[in-house]
Amino acid sequence: MRNSRYTAVGALGLAAALALTACSSSGSAGGTDDGPQAVPTSGGDGKTLTVWVMTGDYTDATITAINDEFTEQTGAEVDVQIQQWDGITTKISTALATSTPPDVLDLGNTQVASYAANGALLDLTSYADDLRQGQTWLAGLEDPATVDDRLYAVPGFAGARAVIYNKTMWAEAGVTEAPTTYDELTADLDAVAAANPEQDFSPFYLPGEYWYAGMQFVWDAGGEIATDDDGTWAGGFESDEAQQGLADFAEFQNEYSTPASQTLDTDEPNQDQIFADGKTSAILHTNGAIALIKEANPALTDDDFGTFPLPGKSGETQPVMLGGSDWGIAAKSQNADLALQWTKIATSPDVQQEWVVGNDGWIPNSEDAIEVATDTVSEIERGFFQAALNSKATPSSADWAALEGDRSINSFFSSVVSGSKTPEEAAKGFDSTVDDALNG
């Protein structure tokens, strides 16, 4: 299972707000308020659909399978153009502003709101029921593609974080099964800590600036980054629920990670290397970390690794921040009907199961597809698939990039974990920062 999309989303963050004038579709498709509609079944003989796909997201075989089915159904051809991540935000925003943009675009799930904000993406709301094809899409893919209750992109695939743990190390501490509750997790980590008393050892390495992890605790307690009230965003960390989540994160981090990690992020020192060196028995990461850990320590094999969703105090698995891909359709597409048909094929249950999961190894776009895939993926991968069943994403604000880009959210969580501020003090200042950024 590849991890290029998840890494790239984390590096890029949300696309910057676009300076596009409002535009409308040149094709016959378009969102309406007349109720649900079926995706058109227009013929496309002699026409060519242009699809932009990000490098590393889908294999050539998967895209070919989608295109073959599309051509069989419509008679139209497909011009697939592979895009590089460097400079993609500017390239997409420029393309969407032209009169002949690409018809379908592979977009990071947290980027959709930026492009939708100024009318650059086709409103898909009226086609949503037909595009779902009986599936329940993952919230972490659908929610950021929904702006002001309107759908602007269709979930494609996901990547999720789960606990990666050293099964051998845990077994030596007397723990032979993965925990399924928060109390079991802390009891297991206590046992691992007792068996590894070295001062620089972390039963669970969880640096304080790791805000993706911190948000899992906040969400588990019922808090939110921000809420949207009729187009105005309000920071949510001062709520009682978020305050509890922040306190829970600080308590867990202080108990099971090293004091030095309170003011660090995951990259310096690299948490994969810490795991490979045996300085921790568990980390929270995406599946791509396993290959990197084995590369750093070839003595570790698949038998040494286990994965599971992080259990929450709520009694459920903690909600995870999903990275992933959504398919958007340009509002100015000259082939909107065909673009809808291509997108419906690309996100269909059959393509998800046989190609997105079976060939490319991604987490599929729906809860239903995950349930089916859980019995077919490896034991190591299963934890990531299960974690994705309870998912969230960043606020669907076009201005999210400003908040994530300046790393203020990293510093916010670190201040709580390190004790330099109480959760209440940190939230009071940071909610104002959230308000200013998301309403920019």
Is 398 contained in some domain?
no
On whether both 242 and 210 belong to a single domain, the answer is: yes
For residue 42, what pLDDT is reported?
A: 84
Q: Does residue 131 sit in helix, strand or coil?
A: helix
On whether both 180 and 292 belong to a single domain, the answer is: yes
Closest Cα partner for 106 from 126, 84, 76?
84
pLDDT at 119 over 80: yes
Q: What's CA 382's distance to the chain center, in Å?
A: 17
On whether both 304 and 222 belong to a single domain, the answer is: yes
**H/E segment holding residue 376:** none
Sheet strands (E) in 301-369: 305-308, 320-321, 323-329
Is 86 contained in some domain?
yes
Is 401 contained in some domain?
no
Condensed to tens digits (0 to 9), the pLDDT of residues 285-320 reads 999 999 999 999 999 999 999 999 999 999 999 999
On whether both 339 and 203 belong to a single domain, the answer is: no
On whether both 310 and 368 belong to a single domain, the answer is: no
CATH number at residue 427: 3.40.190.10
- Distance of alpha carbon 169 from alpha carbon 230, whole angstroms: 51
On whether both 255 and 115 belong to a single domain, the answer is: no
pLDDT at 241 over 70: yes
Written as one string, the DSSP assignment of 153-196 is -EEEEEE--EEEEEHHHHHHTT--S---SHHHHHHHHHHHHHH-
Condensed to tens digits (0 to 9), the pLDDT of residues 56-94 reads 999 999 999 999 999 999 999 999 999 999 999 999 999
pLDDT at 375 over 70: yes
Structural domain total, the chain: 2
Closest Cα partner for 208 from 265, 166, 129, 248?
265
- Distance of alpha carbon 356 from alpha carbon 104, whole angstroms: 18
Which positions ≥6 away from 385 have C-beta within 8 Å?
160, 363, 370, 373, 374, 377
Is 145 contained in some domain?
yes
Which whole-number Å values give the CA distances from 432 to 222, 237, 435, in the listed order?
A: 20, 10, 5
On whether both 169 and 236 belong to a single domain, the answer is: yes
User: What range does the domain containing 415 cover?
Assistant: 162-320+406-438
pLDDT at 371 over 90: yes
Q: Does residue 108 sit in helix, strand or coil?
A: strand
Is 337 contained in some domain?
yes
Is 197 contained in some domain?
yes
On whether both 190 and 312 belong to a single domain, the answer is: yes
